[in-house]
């Protein structure tokens, strides 16, 4: 099994994906253990002084004015975890919780939090044992960290609350720790606060969304190419020299992908046949421009994610010169903005895909295809309602594109009077990514059927490979009406797990 070593310099995107989605094992580097010990020495020295230090010997948030005596500090740290574990609603997905915990461990190991090495090791042990704390949908405002979600994770380290075992069964955390030989931790000064104060949940969801969207933007180039073939469109608009004079990198990449997928097609370029037209509709002609803009948005979001991965987000932080200073680095605005930006781009990509599907089904605009791609129109309804389903998904995505980060709601007796709502932005982006997958699957299903209905014309080798692979995956081709949901589910799985892109790349080589 792949092992991820966590040091003081942070981790990579691939490390996060390996732990969150592939259950990679975690080890702490000797460098990280040394940094943890050194920072802890600074915190212990400050804790012994009579002067109050926020997070070490004071209360938290609006209660930071109270100096906490030494005999109450263990209780203070335990209490902050218990009281902040106040989430509610449906459970958050396992991969999100694993990313959340791993990214908090990554910050802890930076040496800027003052957490003892044994606490960090327990975090790694819990992840390695496949124990997943129960975290709820609601509870984070994306400022002062993803407080409630991280608190539910910290509660498991204390042997309290509930968690899911490696068998998928939810049980008391104490039982699961005992079964795996993991001793619950007793938190010392600052440690409870350090386990809660980060943007780890929203960052983890951003990283996973970036990975999913990278695949989906390639998928969208393929489905757009298939639709162009099915509509007898012209691939002349994909010429590199046209995109060189508007040099957005994403646009050029999308056009190049479509051109590679359409190489050798016998369906493109029939504008002057029986139904002559000067140019294709925007949803076909402008596919690279829309998908390309989304790709450039991905590039910006990836830059933000990489910067956040290189950050130590905590309050207060232990600096290299021995100071422990309060700060505002826990504010989620940088991550929240790009999460919202990605939801906007995803909604627009879904919207243009739906417009192509609708065009394929409309006999007045499909250039000779049967109405709704039906076998016997009137007796058969074909893919009429598949487009309804696609339209419903797109409509929801437009609602999800409303920015969460444009909102703020005060908390903690107005001490935390401006928050990012980054967790909410991340949660709705996950739904948007799921919906985009389904929208592209329906375009794929419609476009492949339409291409197969173009008798006497030969599709490109790459699109032919995609059609063959989709049929082998269980999504059937043209014919009389049948129970359609299983076909759409098969197409959804085909796009979701990357088989669509893989089937095309087997012919074209790697897409951009």
Strands lying side by side in the sheet with 132-133: 132-133, 162-164, 170-172
Contact 171, 162 (CB under 8 A): yes
Residue with tokens 């791609």: 373
Instruction: Determine how many CB atoms are found less than 10 A away from the CB of residue 327.
Output: 12
- Tokens representing 365 are 């605009």
CA dist 168 and 338 (Å) reads: 33
> Cis omega before residue 178 (within 30°)?
no
Beta bridge partners of 172: 162
Closest residue by Cα to residue 158 from 114, 213, 196 = 196
User: Is residue 133 helix, strand or coil?
Assistant: strand
CA dist 456 and 93 (Å) reads: 48
Helices (H), 85-199: 94-108, 117-128, 147-157, 173-179, 191-194
Q: Of the residues 54, 217, 337, 445, which is catalytic?
A: 54
Residue with tokens 């104490």: 174
CA dist 334 and 386 (Å) reads: 38
Contact 349, 217 (CB under 8 A): yes
CA dist 238 and 274 (Å) reads: 23
CA dist 114 and 193 (Å) reads: 10
- Tokens representing 65 are 């004015």
Catalytic (active site) residue 138: no
Catalytic residues: 54
């Amino acid at each position: 099994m792949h092992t991820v070593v966590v040091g003081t310099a942070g981790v990579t995107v691939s490390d996060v994906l390996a732990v969150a989605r592939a259950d990679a094992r975690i080890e702490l580097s000797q460098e990280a253990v040394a940094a943890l010990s050194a920072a802890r020495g600074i915190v212990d020295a400050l804790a012994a002084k009579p002067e109050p230090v926020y997070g070490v010997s004071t209360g938290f948030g609006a209660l930071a004015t109270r100096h906490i005596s030494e005999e109450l500090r263990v209780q203070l740290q335990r209490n902050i975890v218990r009281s902040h574990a106040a989430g509610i609603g449906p459970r958050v997905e396992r991969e999100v919780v694993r990313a959340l915990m791993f990214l908090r461990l990554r910050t802890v190991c930076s040496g800027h939090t003052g957490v003892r090495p044994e606490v960090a090791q327990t975090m790694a042990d819990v992840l390695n044992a496949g124990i997943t704390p129960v975290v709820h949908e609601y509870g984070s405002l994306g400022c002062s960290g993803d407080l409630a979600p991280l608190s539910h994770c910290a509660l498991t380290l204390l042997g309290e609350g509930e968690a899911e075992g490696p068998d998928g069964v939810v049980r008391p955390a104490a039982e699961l720790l005992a079964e795996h030989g993991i001793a619950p931790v007793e938190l010392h000064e600052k440690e409870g606060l350090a386990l809660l104060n980060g943007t780890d949940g929203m960052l983890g969801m951003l990283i996973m969304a970036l990975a999913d969207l990278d695949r989906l933007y390639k998928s969208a180039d393929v489905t757009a190419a298939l639709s162009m073939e099915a509509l007898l469109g012209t691939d002349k608009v994909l010429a590199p020299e046209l995109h060189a004079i508007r040099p957005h990198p994403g646009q050029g990449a999308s056009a190049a992908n479509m051109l590679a997928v359409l190489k050798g097609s016998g369906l493109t370029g029939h504008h002057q046949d029986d139904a002559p037209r000067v140019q294709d509709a925007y949803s076909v002609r402008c596919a690279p421009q829309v998908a390309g803009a989304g790709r450039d948005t991905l590039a910006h979001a990836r830059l933000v994610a990489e910067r956040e991965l290189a950050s130590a987000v905590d309050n207060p932080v232990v600096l290299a010169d021995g100071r422990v200073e309060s700060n505002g680095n826990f504010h989620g605005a940088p991550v929240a903005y790009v999460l919202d930006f990605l939801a906007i781009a995803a909604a627009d990509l879904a919207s243009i895909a739906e417009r192509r599907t609708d065009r394929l089904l409309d006999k007045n605009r499909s250039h000779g295809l049967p109405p709704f791609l039906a076998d016997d129109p009137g007796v058969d309804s074909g893919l009429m309602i598949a487009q309804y389903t696609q339209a419903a998904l797109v409509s929801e995505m437009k609602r999800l594109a409303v920015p969460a980060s444009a909102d703020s709601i005060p908390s903690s007796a107005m001490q935390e009077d401006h928050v990012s709502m980054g967790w909410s932005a991340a949660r709705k982006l996950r739904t948007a990514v799921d919906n985009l997958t389904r929208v592209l699957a329906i375009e794929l299903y419609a476009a492949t059927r339409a291409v197969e209905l173009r008798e006497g014309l030969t599709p490109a080798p790459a699109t032919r490979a995609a059609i063959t692979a989709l049929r082998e995956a269980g999504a059937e081709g043209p014919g009389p009406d049948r129970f359609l949901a299983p076909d759409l589910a098969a197409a959804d799985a085909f796009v979701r797990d990357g088989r669509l892109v893989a089937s095309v790349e087997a012919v074209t080589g790697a897409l951009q």
